[in-house]
Structure 1
Amino acid sequence: MHDQPRKPIMAAVSAMLLTSITLLSACGQKNAAGPASEASPTTIKANEEMGKSLALDDQQDFEDARHGLIARPEGKILGPAGEVLIDFDAWKFIEGPAPATVNPSLWRHAKLNAQIGLFKVTDGIYQLRGFDIANMSIIEGKSGWIIIDPLTSRESAASALAFARKHLGDKPVSAIIFTHSHADHFGGALGIITPEEVASRKLPVIAPDGFMEEATSENILVGTAMARRSSYQFGKDLERSARGLVDTGLGKGVAYGSIGVLQPNQLITQSTQDLVVDGVSFVFHNVPGAEAPSELTFVIPEKKAYAGAEILAQTMHNLLPVRGAKARDAQRWSNYLEQALVHSADADVYFGQHNWPVWGHARIAEFITKQRDVYQYTHDQTVRLINAGFTPYEIADKIKLPKSLETYFGARGYYGDLRHNVKAVYQFYLGAYDGNPANLNRLPPQESAKHYLELFGGADKAISAAQAAFDKGDYRWTAELLNHVVFADSNNQKAKELLARTYEQMGYAAEASTWRNSYLTAANELRNGPPKKGVNRASMIEMLSQTPIERFLEAMAAGLDGAAAEGKDFKVNLVLTDSKESYVLWIENAVLHHKKAEPAKDANATLSLTKPIFIKMMAGTAGVKDTLFSDDLKVDGSRIDLVRFFGLIDKTPGTFAIVTK
C-alpha cells in the first residue's frame, strides 16, 4: 500500500543521508574578502632570510617546467551552472620577485606550477598541466590516446582532452589508466568517455588492485569534516592574489566540478605485472598503503619513461593531510622509493601526476633518492626522539633536515611539511595521546579558555598581552593567547581581528602552501564567518552511483545520535526494487546495525525505492516529483516510526566553525 502523504518521511530521509556524502571537494560558498594586512617587519625579515638561505635563482627546474611546451590555454573552464572552475588568467600575477606577503621559496614553486599548458614529455608521451590540481598524461597508442588520470571533474577533463586533440590530432580514446584512488585522478573520467562507449568498444580501464573500493569509500564516514577542513588546505575561498591563494603545492587549484568514475575492467593485482595496452608495453608496479591505499606506478620500456604516479612529486608530500586522513606509513613510502630506483634504472625521463618531469638518468636517480631519504629521515628521527621520551610538539621543533635534503627544492615542504609529518609518524605508532596524564581528560577548549581568561584577569588583559607579543613578532604565542579569548567569546571583535592579522603574518611567511592557505582561510573566516553552504552533493551523483550501498549504511550508523537513540528499538527494511537488494536496519543498545537480508516481517516500516532515487536522496537533489509522486518509491508500515527512525540520524551540513566556537 502507498502511504500518503510521504513528505515528512522524505524530508527526514533526505536530510539524514546528506550527512554521508562528501569527497575531495571543500564545502561552502565564497566569503567576501576581508581587509588583508600588509606584511609586518618581522614577516619581511623572515622572508628575506629565507630568500638568502636558498639558491632561488637556480634555473634548472624552470627549464624542466617549460620543457616541451606545445601550447598554453586561455580563458576559463566553466562548471555545469556556469560557475568558474578554472581561470587560466588568474595566475598572471605570479611573476617577478616574491612580494613581501609570500614566502620566496613558495613563490618560486608557485611560478613553476604556473607553467600551464600542453607539453611533450618525450616521443609519444604528453601532459596537460594546470587544467586541474593534477596532471592528465596522454600516451600515443596504436589506435588512439591512452589517458592517464583524467583529473577531478568532468568539465576540466573534457577541456583538457579537447585542447590536446586540437594540437595533437583528433584521435579516439583507446584506454584509461587510473594510477590511484584519490578523486583528483579519476573524478573527470566521464568527461573523457562514457561507460557505454567503454563497453561497446571493449576498451581497457586499468587500475590498481582495490581501486574501486578505496575510490568510493574514502571520506564517506568522516567526509563532512574532511571536506570542511579541505577548504582550509586548498584555500578554496581565497582570492587569487599575493595576499591570498598562490598555489596548492601539487598544482594551482582544484576544479570543483562534476565528479564521476568508471568501473575498471582490468586490475593490476601483482606486485609487478606486464601488460600491452593498445600496442604499448607497460610494466606496472603496485605500491599500496603509502600515498594512497590503492596505487600503481609504471614503466614504458620502449620509451625509457618512468611514471611515478604520486609517490613522487616536486615537493615533500603529506604523511597526514591537514584536512585529515589516516596517517600514512613513512617507512613503507621510503621503501617504495628504493624500489623506484630499480624500476627507473633505464629511464631517460620521469613524469608524475603532479608538477613537472625530470630528464636524465642521473638527475632522476638524485630526485628519487632525495625523496626516499626525506621520508626515511623523518621516520627514523621521529622514532628516535619518541623513544627518548619527547612528545609530538617537542619533536616537531627539534627535527631539522640535513643540509643535503634541506637545500634540495624537490624535497622541500610546499605541500607536506616536516613539522606536520613528524606528528603523523608519532600518531602512526602511538596515537594522538602524548603519555602525559594531564592530557587524558582535558577540558574542552571552550571551558579551558574561560579558565585561562580568569587567570589572565579578563579578555582585555589577554588581548593586551597578545598585542605586545604581536608587536614583537612572536606570532605563535600571539595566536595561542588569542585562541583562548576567541574560544571563550566568539563575539570579541577586537580579539578576532588581531588573531586574523596574526594568522595573515603566519601565512605570509609559510613555505608550505597548505599552511599558508589554512592561516589565510582562518583569517578570512574570523572576519566573515564560516561558509553558508556545505558541499555541492549534486556534482557527485555520477560518483555516488558507483558507491556500494553498504558504505552509506555504515555512514548512517556513524551518524546515529547515541544519546537520543538510547532505549529505542526501531527496525526498518530498505528495499532497492531495481537492483533486487534488500537490507534490514535496526537499533540495538543505541547502535544502528544493518545486514543484507530479506525484509523482516516484524519491521516498523519498509521503504522501497529504486537505486537512482536512493542516490538522488543521498545527494539532496531529489525533488517533490522524484519522491512524493514517484511510482519508484513506496512506504509500507508506520510512517511515524519511519520518521522517528531517520530523525535519530544527525543532519550535519558541513559548515561548522573551526576558528571560533
Structure 2
Amino acid sequence: MPSQYTKELIKGQRSSLPFEDTRDFEESKKGFIAAPPYREIMADAGHVAWNMGSYDYLLQGKDFDSIHPSLQRQAILNMGYGLYEVVPGKVYQVRGFDLANMTIIKGDTGWILFDVLTAKETARSALAFVNEKLGQRPVVAVVYSHSHGDHFGGARGVVDEKDVISGKVQIIAPEGFMKHAISENVYAGNAMSRRLMLTYGTLLPRSPFGHVDQAIGKNVAAGDLGLIPPTRTVSKDIEEITIDGVQMVFQNTPGTEAPSEMNTYFPQFKAFWAAENITGTVHNIYTLRGALVRDALAWSKNINNALYLFGDKTDVMFASHSWPRWGNDRVQEVMRTQRDIYANLNNEVLNQANKGVTINEIHNVYKPPKSLQNQWAAHSYHGSEEHNSRAVLNRYLGYWDANPATLVPLSPRDSAPLYVEMMGGSKKIMAKAKTLHNQGKYLEAVEILNKLTLAEPKNTAAKDQLADAYEQLGYQKESVALRNSFLAGAYELRNGIPEGASPSSTSPDMARAMSTDLLLDYMAITMNSKKADGMKFKININTPDIGEKYVLEMSNATLTNIKGFNAKDADLTITLNRSDLETIISGKATFDDLTKAGKAKLAGDAGVLKQLMSTQEKFDPRFEVLPGTKKAK
C-alpha cells in the first residue's frame, strides 16, 4: 500500500498543481455523439483485444493515493469512449477504441480516415460504429500520419486491399513511411517488444495499484496488426492534395515524434490536425521501449512552423491522441506551450552540460520553469523529465560521463557480488534497505537491493523488498513510462515474467513489407556467430520479377550482403521471384516447397544453404530482464 511518505508527496501535489484549470475536461467532452453498448472488443484469434471497461474504476470519483494526482487527471481525461464531432457535419473522431484516435472526414461521396488504430478488430469496430451513427458511406482514402503501428495497424479492418490495388481507395503517407514503419520494428524488434511489456505495462493488472493509463490513450490493443502499403507519398515540405472534395495541406515534420510524420491543415474547415506532434502530454525524446533518440529542438521548430503557417487561421486543433482544442486563442496557447517545453528541454539540458553536468546527473538537475509547470500541456505523462533530459544529453554527447572509471564498466551481474561482499552480505544489506525504506528513501533502497538481487537472483526476500521500493516509486510518478516500468518490475520480481496476449510490432504484413536488403540484414542479426565460426561461402540471390540481385557472403563468422552484384565464384545461386520469397518470409512456404514446385532454382552447392540456416536463431520474446524472474519451461 502507499506509504506515509508517498501519501504526503501525493497530498503536496494535489495542493500545488493548477487543478482549477478545467478546460481540458470541457474540451474532451465537447461534441460527444454516442458510445457503443459494449466496452470490450474481441480479437479474431479468440482473446480480448481491447477492454475499456477494465479502467472503469477511474470513474468512481475517488482520489487514489497510489496514483500521482496529475496522472490520475490525465487518466480520467483519456476515458473518453465513443463517437465525437469535431467540425459540425464534416470531421469526427472515434476515441477510446485503441491507443490512438481514428479521425473520420466526410468527403463528397465517402469517408477519409486519418490513422486507423493498431488492430484490425478495433478499427473494424470503430468504422462500423461510425456507419451506424452517421450513415453508411464507403472509405475513399486512408491517411497514415506517421510510421508507428497504432496509426496504420488496423488498415485491414477498414479497407479491402483489392480496392487499394484497383485505385478505388487511396492510401497517403509521408515520405519514408514504409522504410521506418518496418525497420524500427525489425533490427531490435524482439527486444523492443519485451521492453514494451515493462514501459507500457501491457500485462499489468488494471487497478489503482497497476495500470491506469498510457498518457496518449489507455493502452495498446492486442489484436491483429496489419499493413497495406501507401499508394501516394507526401514528399514536399508543404504539399496540397484534394480528395473527394476535401482540401488537405500536408506539413512534413520528419525527426519529430517519428522519423516519418506529417501534420495536416484543412482550409475549408479552419482545422489543424497535429498528428502525434502536439497532444495532451510531453512525449518521449527517448522512448524507453527502444528507438532512435529524437531531436527535441527539431520537434520544437516544427511546432513553431505549424504555429506560424496555420495557427492564426485555425479554429480547432485535433490529433491522433488526446482531445481537440477549440478557439484560435486556445489553439495557439497549446501550440506555444508545447513548442516551448521541447525547446526548453533541449536548451536547458545543453546549458547544464556545458557547465559540466553529466548524463548521470542531469535527470536530478533539470526542471522546466514554473510558467511551464503550471500548464497542463507541458506535463510529461508519456515521456518524463528524467529520461528525456538524459536523452537530450545522450544525443549530443553520448552515454559516457567522461569519468574513466565508467569507460569499461563491469557487467552488473559481475560487479554485484563484489558490492555485496564489501557491504557485509545480504542480511546487512536487507536491514539497511529496510531502514531506508522506512525513511522514504526508496531510490537509496533500490541502489543496494538491486546489487543484492543481481548477486543472489534466488533471494526471494530481497526481491520482495526491491519490489516494495519499486511500488512506492511507481505510485509517486507522474509519467506512465516511469510508473509502468517500476510497477511492472515489481510484478515480475514477485510473480515472474507474465504470460498473456500482448501487443505485437510484427505481423505477416510487416514481414512481407520488408525490403530484401532489410531481410538479409536481419538474417545477419539472427545468426549465431559461434555456430558460423569456420564457415565460408558466397550465395548469389536473384529475384527476376523485380530485377534485384545480391551477394550474401559468410566470412569471419559474419554475414554481409551487397545489392546489385553477383559473385563469379559463388558457391550457390538462388533464383526466385520476390513474390515467392514473401511466402517464405510470411511462413506460408519453405525453400524446399518452392524448389519442388519449380518456383525456386538452386544452382551449385545446396549444402551451403543448409549451413546458413543452421546458424539462424529464434529469439525468446519473454527473455529475463530482472534477475530470477524467468519461469522454468
1:110–1:249 CA contact under 8 A, matched in 2: yes
Match of 2:341 among 347, 356, 374: 374
* Deviation (angstroms), 1:645: 2.1
Match of 1:388 among 334, 352, 355: 355
Q: Flag the structure with more relative contact order, 1 or 2, with Cα contacts below 8 A and sequence separation at least 6.
A: 1
Matched, 1:643 2:607: no
Please give the alpha-carbon distance, in whole angstroms, between the structure 2 residues aligned to 1:532 and 1:232: 13
1:604–1:642 CA contact under 8 A, matched in 2: no
Deviations 1:509-533 (A, max 9, x none): 1111111111111111112222569
Match of 1:225 among 164, 185, 191: 191
**Equivalent residue for 1:272?**
238
**Equivalent residue for 2:180?**
214
**Equivalent residue for 1:75?**
39
Amino acid at match of 1:183: G
Which 10-residue stretch deviates more, 370-379 or 604-613? 604-613
Amino acid at match of 1:350: M
**Equivalent residue for 2:460?**
493
Which structure 2 residue ranges, 5 or more long, are not aligned? 629-633
**Equivalent residue for 1:464?**
431
* Deviation (angstroms), 1:539: 6.5
Which 10-residue stretch deviates more, 255-264 or 483-492? 255-264
Match of 2:552 among 562, 585, 593: 585
Amino acid at match of 2:12: E
**Equivalent residue for 1:529?**
496
Please give the alpha-carbon distance, in whole angstroms, between the structure 1 residues aligned to 2:580 and 2:457: 41
Please give the alpha-carbon distance, in whole angstroms, between the structure 2 residues aligned to 1:277 and 1:125: 14
Please give the alpha-carbon distance, in whole angstroms, between the structure 2 residues aligned to 1:216 and 1:88: 29
Match of 1:44 among 1, 4, 7: 7
Which 10-residue stretch deviates more, 610-619 or 251-260? 610-619
Amino acid at match of 1:195: E
- The TM-score normalised by the length of structure 2 is 0.93
**Equivalent residue for 2:257?**
291
Amino acid at match of 2:521: E
Matched, 1:99 2:101: no
Amino acid at match of 1:129: R
Matched, 1:454 2:454: no
Please give the alpha-carbon distance, in whole angstroms, between the structure 1 residues aligned to 2:588 and 2:400: 41
Note the 1:322-341 alignment, pairs <5 A: 322-341=288-307
**Equivalent residue for 2:142?**
176
Please give the alpha-carbon distance, in whole angstroms, between the structure 1 residues aligned to 2:30 and 2:346: 34
2:193–2:505 CA contact under 8 A, matched in 1: no
**Equivalent residue for 1:282?**
248
SS at match of 1:139: strand
Cα distance change, pair 500–608 in 1 and its aligned pair in 2 (3 A): farther
What is the percent sequence identity of the aligned residues?
38
Please give the alpha-carbon distance, in whole angstroms, between the structure 1 residues aligned to 2:561 and 2:592: 29
Cα distance change, pair 455–627 in 1 and its aligned pair in 2 (3 A): farther
Please give the alpha-carbon distance, in whole angstroms, between the structure 1 residues aligned to 2:395 and 2:553: 34
* Deviation (angstroms), 1:220: 1.2
Cα distance change, pair 482–577 in 1 and its aligned pair in 2 (3 A): farther
Alignment coverage as a number of residue pairs: 624
Match of 1:300 among 252, 262, 266: 266
* Deviation (angstroms), 1:303: 0.6
Deviations 1:580-639 (A, max 9, x none): 655331112332111345765644445566656644554567689968976656766555
1:534–1:653 CA contact under 8 A, matched in 2: no
Which 10-residue stretch deviates more, 147-156 or 581-590? 581-590
Please give the alpha-carbon distance, in whole angstroms, between the structure 1 residues aligned to 2:590 and 2:474: 43
Matched, 1:194 2:164: no
SS at match of 1:571: strand
Amino acid at match of 1:213: K
1:137–1:147 CA contact under 8 A, matched in 2: yes
SS at match of 1:302: coil
Please give the alpha-carbon distance, in whole angstroms, between the structure 2 residues aligned to 1:198 and 1:289: 28
1:541–1:616 CA contact under 8 A, matched in 2: no
* Deviation (angstroms), 1:574: 4.2
Please give the alpha-carbon distance, in whole angstroms, between the structure 1 residues aligned to 2:295 and 2:52: 36
Match of 2:50 among 77, 86, 92: 86
2:225–2:505 CA contact under 8 A, matched in 1: no
**Equivalent residue for 1:252?**
218
* Deviation (angstroms), 1:647: 2.7
**Equivalent residue for 2:631?**
none
Please give the alpha-carbon distance, in whole angstroms, between the structure 2 residues aligned to 1:609 and 1:80: 33
Please give the alpha-carbon distance, in whole angstroms, between the structure 2 residues aligned to 1:87 and 1:532: 17
Amino acid at match of 2:68: N
Please give the alpha-carbon distance, in whole angstroms, between the structure 1 residues aligned to 2:375 and 2:505: 43
**Equivalent residue for 1:3?**
none
Cα distance change, pair 209–336 in 1 and its aligned pair in 2 (3 A): same
CA RMSD of aligned residues (A): 2.4
